[in-house]
């Protein structure tokens, strides 16, 4: 009986741990595009796939790894396991990818889409479909941010505006934050792909059918290098991510340049107000200086001058004339010392051919306006 009571808590704890094991909602797609749905506990799933529990943790937001001739892939919220025969999408109910999962992915794997790897083994199609979807999502985010940022910048760098619209600045701040998140996602995507491209062994491990299908192995030995095809596939999407990163970097440079122009514009208007205040102060000083004559005549002291009826107009004329002359002299002194130096001579630059896309035209137009505004505001200042 002592032995029974000693083992009873252990069996109960094991039963409790098994009951709380996470359950995956799994979407299974095979080579023909047939789709099945089922739920399975994590312990049962990794045992069937020949994996270990830590292989299905999906610790990183983006990762591509191979375990026991299985590809374990994660793209942000998408968690997938690729085998030579089928593709498993885990927790598909919690994803915001219903249209792609239910309407496009199966047809792509069956060869009805526009995948260039349809003639290659199944894992090539699965990897390309997932990478293509990820790049399209990043491209869509950039296409959404780009016109909003350009429109906001065009409104903010307008030299006719004496003040900055706070609502536009708030929109620019939000778009800048979204752009930073996009740049981070692109950087993680590129780093993940580059880690595989730098290791030849990792590329070989991604070719699952090469080690399980004799026909594929014979093709690889006869001259069709599947590892090279996998490398070209990954390099293609790496270049696409690099292009998107360059466009995002151009937007970031435009935002930084426009912020500088906004500050220059505000400084220019502030300098105008300061100069006007200085001119009024000079005018007040000039009037006060010659106003001393009127103060002297306003004293309750008798002299022979107040008996002459023409002396009032003479003193008043001297006061206004003297004040005006002193004010003009002060203004000319102010103009000589605040006059900006002549700008350096800039040689003529050959104009580049006008790009075909309207998006590049908008960016070039904005750059030209920004450059012209900076020259005018600096000259005024």
Global model pTM greater than 0.85: no
Between 12 and 60, the more confident residue is: 60
Residue 275 has what pLDDT? 79
pLDDT > 90: percent of the chain: 20
Q: Which residue has the tokens 């590892």?
A: 227
CATH for the stretch 20-114: 2.40.128.330
Q: pLDDT of 9-30, one tens digit each?
A: 455 544 555 556 688 888 999 8
Q: Please state, in angstroms and rounded to a whole number, the distance separating the CA atoms of residues 289 and 258.
A: 46
Considering only 109-123, 211-225, 260-274, which range has the smallest mean pLDDT?
211-225
Torsion angle, alpha carbons of 324, 325, 327, 329, to 10: 160
Q: Which residue has the tokens 């496009």?
A: 104
Domain spans, the chain: 20-114, 118-292
Average pLDDT, the chain: 77
CATH number for the 118-292 domain, one of 2.40.30.10, 3.40.50.300, 1.20.58.340, 1.10.1060.10?
Answer: 1.20.58.340
Write the DSSP string, 185-225. HHHHHHHHHHHHHT-HHHHHHH-THHHH-HHHHHHHHTT--
Considering only 125-129, 136-140, 369-373, which range has the smallest mean pLDDT?
369-373
Count of CB atoms situated within 10 Å of the CB of 238: 19
Q: pLDDT of 300-345, one tens digit each?
A: 656 666 677 777 778 778 877 877 887 787 777 766 655 555 444 4
Q: pLDDT of 219-240, one tens digit each?
A: 655 556 788 888 999 999 999 9
pLDDT over threshold 90, residue 242:
yes
């Amino acid at each position: 009986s002592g032995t029974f009571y000693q083992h009873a808590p252990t069996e109960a704890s094991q039963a409790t741990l098994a009951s709380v094991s996470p359950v995956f909602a799994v979407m299974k797609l095979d080579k023909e595009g047939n789709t099945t749905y089922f739920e399975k506990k994590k312990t049962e799933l990794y045992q069937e796939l020949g994996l270990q529990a830590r292989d299905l943790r999906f610790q990183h937001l983006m990762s591509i790894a191979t375990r026991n001739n299985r590809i374990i892939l994660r793209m942000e919220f998408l968690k997938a396991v690729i085998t030579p025969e089928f593709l498993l999408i885990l927790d598909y109910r919690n994803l915001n990818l219903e249209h792609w999962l239910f309407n496009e992915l199966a047809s792509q794997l069956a060869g009805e889409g526009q995948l260039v790897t349809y003639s290659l083994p199944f894992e090539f199609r699965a990897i390309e479909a997932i990478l293509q979807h990820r790049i399209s999502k990043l491209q869509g985010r950039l296409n959404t941010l780009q016109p909003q940022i350009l429109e906001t910048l065009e409104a903010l760098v307008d030299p006719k505006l004496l003040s900055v619209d706070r609502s536009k600045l708030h929109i620019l701040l939000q778009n800048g934050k979204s752009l930073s998140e996009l740049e981070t996602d692109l950087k993680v995507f590129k780093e993940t792909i580059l880690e595989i491209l730098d290791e030849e062994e990792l590329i070989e491990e991604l070719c699952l059918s090469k080690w399980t299908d004799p026909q594929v192995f014979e093709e690889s030995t006869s001259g069709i290098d599947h590892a090279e095809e996998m490398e070209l596939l990954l390099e293609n999407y790496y270049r696409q991510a690099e292009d998107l990163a360059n466009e995002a970097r151009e937007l970031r440079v435009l935002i930084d340049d426009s912020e500088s122009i906004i500050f220059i514009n505000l400084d220019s208007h502030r300098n105008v107000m300061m100069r006007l205040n200085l001119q009024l102060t000079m005018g007040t000083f000039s009037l006060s200086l010659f106003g001393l004559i009127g103060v002297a005549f306003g004293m309750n002291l008798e002299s022979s001058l107040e008996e002459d009826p023409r002396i009032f107009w003479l003193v008043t004329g001297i006061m206004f004339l003297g004040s005006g002359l002193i004010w003009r002299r002060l203004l000319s002194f102010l103009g000589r010392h605040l006059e900006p130096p002549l700008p350096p001579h800039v040689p003529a630059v050959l104009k580049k051919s006008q790009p075909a896309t309207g998006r590049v035209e908008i960016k070039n137009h904005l750059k030209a306006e920004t450059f012209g505004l900076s020259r005018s505001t600096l000259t005024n200042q």
